[in-house]
Homo-oligomer: A and B are copies of this chain.
Amino acid sequence: MTQMTYAEAARMGLREEMLRDPAVWALGEDLGYEGGMAGQYKGLQDEFGPDRIVDTPISENTIMGAAVGAAIAGTRPIAEMRFSDFAMCAVSELVNQAAKARYMFGGQARVPLVARMPIGIRGGIAAQHSQSPEAWYTHVPGLVVVTPATPADNRGLLKAAIRCDDPVVYMEHKGLWGVAGEVDEDDQEPVPLGVARIARAGSDVTVVSWAAQVAVALEAAESLAGEGISAEVIDLRTLWPWDREAVLASAGRTGRLLVVHEAVRVGGFGGEIAAEVAEELRIPVARLGGARIPIPFSVPLEEAYKIKADRVAARVREMLA
């Protein structure tokens, strides 16, 4: 076991896959010298050359569109969009082309690309650099959607995303780049897509979350434990496919479900999970998500948007009251 950050673990996973398969490459802005926004590509251009870590013009449509063509043509490109906000400049390429090519062409095409687009609040980067649109992509047939919450998962899930034969929207959380955690360097296996992780076992309520909110849910569970309330925390890891069985099993046991996400609550993926559980189990369900406002810049305003542990704990208490 080694301690490394979420960004370092992602770099390790990418490097392992690039060593393993010469068809794996990445394209995006400032990947070479800068090594990516958080160093997740650091040194890889020196090691693999400018044809496999490609510095591109500021041309989001083409970063994504070229990845589609390169994937169809037999390589495994990683389209680095830097921010999911900028990926909104290339939605047609991802949704109309990447997601549909295999189907529209009756199975003739495979599009094994990774559309890498970090989400979330990092602090003071405001409305156009902090969005969490993961729910959009769960709604698009043909796409897999991944939201890693830990360094180990950011290595293992990235490896799985790269090996996946279909397009994967890979959404790291910008707030986690510097967070360190245990990674087993010897274990080169990918983390399977679609399998949730029980981050903390519990019996009174099931709290489902992903990405940066998992730590918030765990913090809430810890404080609730002090009050004798036992919360089970599930890290979904993959939003599509999401681990329905694991969630239903847990919620069936605890009898209560709370979904927590940083994304705007209205139209968020929490609705899918809560509705599904309510339909199947008829147990109390609840959702916590962001207010329907753009992400503000100033500290107190940004803080007002965030879902903190105390609010999660309070919501759980309400459900148990």
Chain A residues within CB distance 8 Å of chain B: 85-86, 88-89, 91-92, 95-96, 99-100, 103-104, 126-128, 133, 135-136, 138-142, 240, 263-264, 266-272, 274-276, 278-279, 282, 284-287, 291-294, 296
Contact = CB atoms under 8 A, between A and B. Distances in A.
Contact of A103 (B99, B142, B282, B294): B294
Contacts of A133: 136, 139
A180 B282 CA distance: 41
Given A96-B85, A287-B279, A267 B272 contact: yes
Given A96-B128, A271-B272, A282-B284, A138 B266 contact: yes
A161 B278 CA distance: 34
Nearest to A264: B139
B139 A135 contact: yes
A136 B138 contact: no
A83 to B, nearest CB: 10
A88 B137 CA distance: 13
Q: Which of A99, A267, A274 is the most central at the interface, judged by chain B CB atoms within 10 Å of its CB?
A: A267
Contacts of A85: 92, 96
A208 to B, nearest CB: 12
Nearest to A276: B271
B267 A135 contact: yes
B282 A275 contact: no
A268 B85 CA distance: 21
